[in-house]
């Protein structure tokens, strides 16, 4: 087991609900529970993968951590160093929050929509330097931008160009440079390669791995492509309908997944020769239930082939079944 001081982040019971009002005369308010009571620890220098189907709450979880969305409940404890006391990011405001925004950055999924088309690359990347007052002069700021562009495989002279002059892969490198320029400790990667061609995906993944080593970074890598997550992640958390349902080492998940949903996800990965696929694979059937006021039961119960009475009545908690392997499932009590 890792010591608490090895953890960069402690995410405790985090929820993000969106209110929805329906009706004209008899108005009724319901809650879309995009993220519901999620807890995770992220170790210094690791890449933690977060996987699940589209709409399960992965992106909302990442955006809540960087305070794009304000959390409904929970705590996000962040330790800037092993000797420093953890600080609850969710309790910060004003200048204190601004300081931690510099340490925690995000790379967005869409390399087309995340860059302002009216600004050239220099001004896009310089925004972070201006906000956090990095670089004494404009020339110093340009030097920082030139260096970070080199780190992501782009030429410094590109800073005079505009986003429409670049390919999708180049734009995503610009997005990476923008997050890197303020020298963060922790980067949340929100499906950074899902909009790119497969050949370009490999290039971007390799850049992220090199930057992790060069800058001592920690990643939360959000994705739905399990092959990408397997390549880059040290541990993987599986999310379903706003809940973390399994958490373990990458190899352990692929070799010994415990939750029925995790098994279904792994069995759905395409392989070059379908005839070599193992027998008895578990396919996911049915539709994902609505996250609006879900019943107090296991979120996967309506699609689970192994569900029994207790699954319809209670919500399973994430528990350690084997060393370093946690699962939220009554089958393993």
Q: What is the pLDDT of residues 214-235, one digit of tens each?
A: 999 999 999 988 888 999 999 9
pLDDT digits (tens, 9 = 90+) for 38-95: 999 999 999 999 999 888 999 999 999 999 999 999 999 999 877 678 999 999 998 8
Position 122 scores a pLDDT of: 96
CA-based nearest residue to 145, from 128, 125, 169: 125
Is the per-residue pLDDT at 1 higher than 60? Answer: no
Residues 307 and 298: their CA atoms lie apart, in Å, by 9
CA-based nearest residue to 315, from 331, 329, 333: 329
Is the per-residue pLDDT at 37 higher than 80? Answer: yes
Position 203 scores a pLDDT of: 92
Cβ–Cβ under 8 Å, residues 139 and 176: no
Position 261 scores a pLDDT of: 94
Alpha-carbon distances, residue 267 vs 39, 229, 241, 255, 283 (angstroms): 26, 15, 19, 12, 7
Position 2 scores a pLDDT of: 42
Position 20 scores a pLDDT of: 82
Spell 181-215 as b/e; 16+ CB within 10 A means b: bbebbbbbbbbbbebbeeebbebbbebbeebbeee
pLDDT digits (tens, 9 = 90+) for 116-161: 999 999 999 999 999 999 999 999 999 999 999 999 999 999 999 9
Position 256 scores a pLDDT of: 93
pLDDT digits (tens, 9 = 90+) for 272-313: 777 766 666 777 777 788 888 787 899 999 899 899 999 999
Is the per-residue pLDDT at 187 higher than 80? Answer: yes
């Amino acid at each position: 087991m890792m010591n608490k001081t090895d953890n960069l982040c402690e995410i405790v019971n985090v929820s993000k609900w969106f209110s929805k009002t329906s009706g004209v005369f008899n108005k009724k308010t319901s809650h879309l529970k995009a993220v519901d009571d999620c807890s995770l620890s992220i170790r210094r220098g690791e890449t933690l993968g977060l996987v699940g189907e589209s709409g399960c709450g992965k992106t909302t979880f990442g955006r809540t951590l960087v305070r794009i969305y304000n959390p409904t409940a929970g705590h996000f404890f962040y330790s800037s160093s092993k000797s420093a006391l953890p600080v609850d990011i969710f309790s910060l405001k004003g200048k204190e929050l601004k300081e931690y925004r510099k340490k925690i950055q995000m790379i967005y999924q869409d390399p087309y929509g995340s860059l302002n088309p009216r600004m050239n690359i220099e001004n896009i990347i310089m925004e972070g330097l201006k906000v956090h007052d990095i670089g004494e002069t404009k020339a110093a700021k340009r030097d920082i931008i030139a260096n970070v562009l080199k780190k992501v495989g782009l030429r410094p002279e590109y800073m005079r160009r505009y986003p429409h002059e670049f390919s999708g892969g180049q734009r995503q490198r610009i997005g990476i440079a923008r997050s890197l320029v303020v020298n963060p400790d922790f980067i949340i990667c929100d499906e950074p390669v899902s909009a790119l061609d497969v050949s370009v995906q490999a290039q971007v993944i390799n850049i992220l791995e090199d930057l992790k080593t060069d800058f001592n970074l920690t990643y939360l890598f959000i994705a739905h492509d399990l092959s990408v997550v397997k390549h880059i992640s040290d541990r993987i958390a599986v999310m379903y309908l706003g809940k973390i349902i399994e958490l373990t080492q990458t190899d352990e998940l692929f070799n010994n997944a415990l939750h029925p949903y995790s098994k279904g996800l792994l069995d759905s990965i395409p392989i070059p020769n379908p005839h070599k696929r193992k027998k008895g694979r578990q396919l996911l059937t049915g539709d994902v239930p609505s996250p609006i006021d879900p019943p107090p039961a296991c979120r996967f119960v309506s699609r689970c082939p192994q569900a029994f009475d207790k699954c319809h009545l209670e919500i399973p908690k994430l528990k350690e079944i084997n060393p370093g392997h946690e699962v939220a499932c009554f089958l393993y009590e």
